[in-house]
Amino acid sequence: MKFVAFAVVMVALSCSSVALSQEPLQHDQIHIAVQAVCPVSGQKLGAHGAPLKVKIGEETLFVCCQGCLKGKQVNPQHWATIHANFAKAQRICPIMKKELPANPKWTVVDGQIVYVCCPPCTEKIAAEPKKFVQRIDELYLESLRAQQAARESDRTRDRAGR
């Protein structure tokens, strides 16, 4: 796979960190939390201020800072981590509603990568893209909330063990 340099539009987000609270998260906030790292530097998103939205090939992702926009190349290791983060957070095929296989197929819909269990599912997504992009965000939120609950449980157990 060929990795491309950054070139296009950047949009600063209104908040620099993503906290899962009672307030509904916006699409970009969800994606920042799931992506987690910068595809150029590997730094945690939000560590250098509000992440910046960029287009890499067909995909819309985020970088950690202005420095990563200046013609630097995507690091293949960070790229693989980001895609693994998205696949893990999605967990299931939005069409068949079953666990994703070890090497899921994928398509890009409105800049967002969507993993599926098999190639025919990509055709179904293409027929109703908005429906499935919304479903993917719901799956991401479920994963983020489960991760947060696990961290809180670990902290509670650690405090009880003292």
In terms of residue numbers, what domain contains 131?
Answer: 27-160
Q: Which residues contact 14 (CB under 8 A, 6 or more apart)?
A: 50
The total domain count for the chain is 1
- Asked whether the whole model's pTM tops 0.85, one would answer no
* Six token digits for residue 106: 């994928």
Q: What's the pLDDT tens digit per position in 113-143? A: 999 999 999 999 999 898 888 899 999 999 9
- Cα distances (Å, whole numbers) of residue 14 to 25, 26, 52, 104: 12, 11, 10, 33
Q: What's the pLDDT tens digit per position in 22-43? A: 445 688 999 999 999 999 999 9
20 assigned to some structural domain: no
C-beta atoms surrounding 155 within 10 Å: 10
Between the CA atoms of 76, 82, 87 and 90, what dihedral angle is there, to the nearest 10 degrees? Answer: -160
